[in-house]
Amino acid sequence: MEQQIAELTKSGAMLGTIQLEIFYWWCTAIMILIHAGFLAYEMGASRAKNVLASGVKNILAFAFIVPTFFFFGWWIYLAFPNGFIPVEAGNAGLPWAQDMGPNLKDNATGVFWAAFVLFAATTASIFSGAVIERIRVSAFVILAISLGSGAWILAASWGWHPDGWLLTKFGYHDVGCAGLIHVVAGFFALGVLINLGPRIGKFNKDGTTNDLRPHNIPMVLIGLMLIIVGFFGFLGGCAILNPGAQWTNIYGQPMTLSAYAFNTLMCFSGGIIGAWITTRDPFWMMSGALAGIFVAAAGLDIWYPPLAFLLGMVGGAIIKPGNDFLVKMGIDDSVGAVSVHGFAGVLGVMAVGVFAAGYPNPGDAPDTSFVGQLVGVIVMILCGFIPGYVISLLLKSIGILRVPDEVQEVGLDIAEIPSKAYPEAAGYKSGSLVPAE
Amino acid sequence: MNSSPVTSWEDVGAYFTFADTPGALYLILALAVLACVLTIVQAAKHETEAFKKVEYSD
């Protein structure tokens, strides 16, 4: 009898372990839809002469984030919860550690690492859209790695890790990464855009602007909807499955996936409606859906759903004015990423401080608070803006950041890509050059 | 090349290729890092050459 109980207990524990593995495996798979979406979105948002160059850039962001996150990204997450001094526990994330590969005694590290890789690649893709049509691919890859496998994951170590100082000292609460991913990526993009400059033809000498329209709005809309689908995998990956016990959020507070279901759908809808009210433009409506999710993301586990809806409406409503403000400042953000991710993310982090203060944290960590969220959002802005600005300034100073203006006029595809996006389209301007090889 | 760190499946932990040979892991890792770095350098050179073709054609 005792032996049977022991065997059943062992079998139950293994079942729980495999359940955990399967859950994060499929979260990761669904998250890849985010990248399918960003790919369609960025290509659609480009003009016809730059479609494939934008696609190549986006694909390479994903491709380079995966190995670099293996080389050092996961180690950064585990090693720096206290600030800039690495802790010994980080050694488990070193690329030669026994956990960093097939291991029959560790079912968890691989699937957690994979989920974090997709978070990292999402971060890089957010930045990617802002800089299309004039950034050099090599510079972009360097910046994407710096963001996805560096800046973002350092912020995550501070504000998401159970020992992260933003949690243990300030009670920072950001379960869906409003600050950790969207603020960091949005302000990283802003730092780069300042040095990169606008697309040729965006601004006139008299200070007026030209509307460089996407060449394929339907592709943009489908891409944005794919991103929304992928975010369900993303948000699932932000929850901790505890076999045999209640879900917890990344901070160890109890939660349910039902909470995410209520609030994600409500803020998604609010975002669309908010953007529709202020713009009537489908491009901004679907961007509003994203912004709606980001404004509610930090507290997705705790919102009363109609509050999430209202937060989403605010997010959707502010993104176009936010982008218009940037244009007035001379910033050409090709897809509005700074506003959609950066500005909406700031509101999202602060929404927890305003509407959700006082929730208890595990251990000695302070309760959620306005001050804790304010400190957190300032840290996130700096984590994004400083590396984005400094690294792009360095690349600019050695002349490898921006595509020359005359190449921009001809089109990046004809200059760089040995293929054509629409070879049979009537009126397709192929230029006098043969495609690059 | 015998890269297996295990001789049976009893009580096995890490079983990836060369798991018990740190020197080999460091070497393969260094090659992988180098491959990424060189690819980026080559991409930068390719871009410069490709852009020159456009500039010369004007």
Q: Which of B19, B47, B54 sits opposite A433 (nearest CB)?
A: B54
Q: Which of A67, A102, A433 sits opposite B16 (nearest CB)?
A: A102
pLDDT of residue A415: 93
pLDDT of residue A52: 97
**Residues sharing a CB contact under 8 Å with residue A263, sequence separation 6 or more, in sequence order:** A296, A299, A300, A301, A303, A305, A308
pLDDT of residue A434: 53
Is residue A225 over pLDDT 90?
Answer: yes
Cβ pair A230, A38 in contact under 8 A: no
Beta bridge partners of A209: A203
Q: What are phi and psi of A320, to 5 degrees?
A: -70, -50
- Whole-number Å distance between alpha carbons of A79 and A115: 18
Is residue A430 over pLDDT 60?
Answer: no
The arithmetic mean of pLDDT across residues B24-40, rounded, is 98
Cβ pair A154, A383 in contact under 8 A: yes
pLDDT of residue A435: 54
Angle at A33 between CA A74 and CA A100, to 5 degrees: 20
Chain A residue with minimum CA distance to B40: A138
A382, containing H or E segment? helix A370-397
Report residue A433's pLDDT band, with 50, 70 and 90 as the boundaries: low
The arithmetic mean of pLDDT across residues A361-389, rounded, is 97
Picking from A182, A192, A228, the residue whose alpha carbon sits closest to that of residue A341 is A182
Cβ pair A295, A281 in contact under 8 A: no
The arithmetic mean of pLDDT across residues A193-212, rounded, is 94
Beta bridge partners of A135: A402
Is residue A51 over pLDDT 80?
Answer: yes
**In chain A, which residues have their Cβ closer than 8 Å to the Cβ of B32?**
67, 71
Beta bridge partners of A254: A248
Question: Residue holding tokens 């709005």?
Answer: A217
Task: Identify the three-state secondary structure at position A17.
Answer: helix
The reply to whether A9 touches chain B by the CB within 8 Å rule is no
3-state helix, strand, coil in chain A (%, to 5): 65, 0, 30
Query: For A155-165, what is each residue's pLDDT tens digit?
Result: 999 999 999 99
B16/A433 CB distance under 8 A:
no
Q: Which of A64, A67, A104 sits opposite B15 (nearest CB)?
A: A104
Is residue B7 over pLDDT 80?
Answer: yes
The arithmetic mean of pLDDT across residues A271-279, rounded, is 97
Q: Which amino acid is at A187?
A: F
pLDDT of residue A207: 84
3-state SS, A52-91, equals: HHHHHHHHHHHHHHHHHHHHHHHHHHHHCCCCCCCCHHHH
Is residue A76 over pLDDT 90?
Answer: yes
**In chain B, which residues have their Cβ closer than 8 Å to the Cβ of A95?**
29
Share of chain A above pLDDT 70, in %: 97
pLDDT of residue A27: 97
Report residue A436's pLDDT band, with 50, 70 and 90 as the boundaries: low
Residues of chain B with a CB closer than 8 angstroms to some CB in chain A: 9, 12-16, 19, 22, 25-26, 29, 32-33, 36, 40-41, 43-44, 46-47, 50-51, 53-55, 57-58
**Residues sharing a CB contact under 8 Å with residue A342, sequence separation 6 or more, in sequence order:** A182, A183, A185, A186, A187, A189, A190, A381, A384
- Whole-number Å distance between alpha carbons of A80 and A158: 7
pLDDT of residue A437: 52
- More confident call, B54 vs A75: A75
A104/B12 CB distance under 8 A:
yes
Burial of B15 (0-12, 13-18, 19+ CB in 10 A): middle
pLDDT of residue A1: 86
User: Which of B6, B51, B55, B58 to mutate against chain A (most A CBs within 10 Å)?
Assistant: B51
The arithmetic mean of pLDDT across residues A305-314, rounded, is 98
The reply to whether A108 touches chain B by the CB within 8 Å rule is no
Both structure tokens of A195:
């040095």
DSSP alpha helices (H): ranges in A329-369?
337, 344-355
Task: Kindly report the average pLDDT of chain A as a whole number.
Answer: 95
B19/A98 CB distance under 8 A:
yes
| Model ipTM over 0.90 | yes
Is residue A426 over pLDDT 80?
Answer: no
The arithmetic mean of pLDDT across residues A131-148, rounded, is 98
Residues 31-70 of A with CB under 8 A from B: 64, 67-68
Report residue A397's pLDDT band, with 50, 70 and 90 as the boundaries: very high
Angle at B30 between CA B29 and CA B35, to 5 degrees: 100
The arithmetic mean of pLDDT across residues A142-147, rounded, is 98
A138/B25 CB distance under 8 A:
no
pLDDT of residue A427: 54
Task: Kindly report the average pLDDT of chain B as a whole number.
Answer: 93
Is residue A317 over pLDDT 90?
Answer: yes
The arithmetic mean of pLDDT across residues A264-291, rounded, is 97
User: Which of A66, A71, A96 to mutate against chain B (most B CBs within 10 Å)?
Assistant: A96
Report residue A424's pLDDT band, with 50, 70 and 90 as the boundaries: confident
- Whole-number Å distance between alpha carbons of A129 and A122: 11
Share of chain A above pLDDT 90, in %: 95
Query: For A234-252, what is each residue's pLDDT tens digit?
Result: 999 999 999 999 999 999 9
The arithmetic mean of pLDDT across residues A16-21, rounded, is 95
